[in-house]
Chains A and B, each alone.
Chain A
Amino acid sequence: MTMAEWALLVLLGALSLASALGLLLSRNAVYAALFLVLNFSVGAVIYLLFNAPFLAVTQVAVYAGAIMVLFVFVIMLLGAERLAPAENPPGLAYQRPLAIILAVALLAVAAWALLSGAQIEPSPSVAPRPDSSPQAMGMWLFGPYLLPLQVVALLLLAAMVGALVLSRKS
């Protein structure tokens, strides 16, 4: 990997973390949603760097596009963009410090696992770069992954019926 690519990767990483923190801290739901869109878009660029062009496009079109638009739409529909910092109920008094401590602990465990796991893996330079063009992905989806593909079709059907049940007047 060249220096330029590294610089780009570090920049993307910083942007990704910053937008995630924006989602975590922002006081306005629409801003939060836009931070998330940014985060997803940064992800798409990283996908490109890692030889996943098809996923990069899907990420932008489906995730950053359709799904987040839906979020923003619902926020607007409900008029729920303002997030007033209300006082916590008694059960939540220690929620914030405990959550932060546990999150740091989890991150530490995960970092340790990633670090010590890294040694025994094949180096990326050795690994072949498979053909990841949309055609190739299509062949995979309709080849070995045919059963999962049918299952997600059912999943989407279930989601559709479910959304109808919850929204339609009974």
Chain B
Amino acid sequence: MDATSFVTFLSAALFVIGALGVLLRRSALLIFMSVELMLNAANLAFVTFAHRWGQLDGQVTVFFIMTIAAAEVAVGLALIVTIFRTKRSTSVDELAQLRG
């Protein structure tokens, strides 16, 4: 096994842990953090793949994904704060008014 394979395995593991976090954490904040972990795992994969192919495209893409993450955080946190004001809670399990 070479170093790139090692890190891509690591990124896959991080991605899956992130996905698990989305499914297992109750707080919207922690779910959101887990999504960030998933994006970060993708970034790690991009960097190693860029290294493997000897290109910069992968690295440039990581830069853009970071920006996407920043934009998502701005809106996401604003949403969580807004709903906290109404419900006094960040638990997503209490948000089940809409269903069926």
Interface residues of A (CB under 8 A from B): 1, 5-6, 9-10, 13, 16-17, 20-21, 23-24, 29, 32-33, 36, 39-40, 43, 46-47, 49-52, 54-55, 58-59, 62-63, 66-67, 70-71, 74-75, 77-78, 80, 83, 86, 88-89, 91-92, 95-96, 99-100, 103-104, 106-107, 110-111, 114-115, 118, 121-124, 127-130, 132, 136-137, 140-141, 145, 148, 152, 155-156, 158-160, 162-163, 166-167
Nearest A residue (CB) for B67: A152
- Shortest Cβ distance from B92 into chain A, in angstroms? 10
Contact residue among A74, A103, A152 (Cβ-Cβ distance under 8 Å from B81): A74
**Which residues in A have their C-beta under 8 angstroms from that of B51?**
50-52, 124, 127
Is there contact, CB below 8 Å, between A43 and B75?
no
**Which residues in A have their C-beta under 8 angstroms from that of B26?**
83, 86
Nearest A residue (CB) for B84: A78
* Given known A103-B20, A107-B12, A166-B75, contact A127–B80 (CB-CB < 8 A): no
Is there contact, CB below 8 Å, between A122 and B52?
yes
Is there contact, CB below 8 Å, between B18 and A20?
yes
**Would you give the 0/1 interface string for B7-36, flagging 1 where the beta carbon is closer than 8 Å to chain A?**
111101111111111011111011001101
Nearest B residue (CB) for A67: B73
- With the chains together, A36 CA to B50 CA distance in Å? 24
* Given known A16-B10, A43-B44, A114-B8, contact A159–B30 (CB-CB < 8 A): no
* Given known A13-B6, A114-B8, A132-B59, contact A52–B50 (CB-CB < 8 A): yes
* Given known A74-B29, A130-B55, A132-B59, contact A24–B68 (CB-CB < 8 A): no
Nearest A residue (CB) for B33: A36
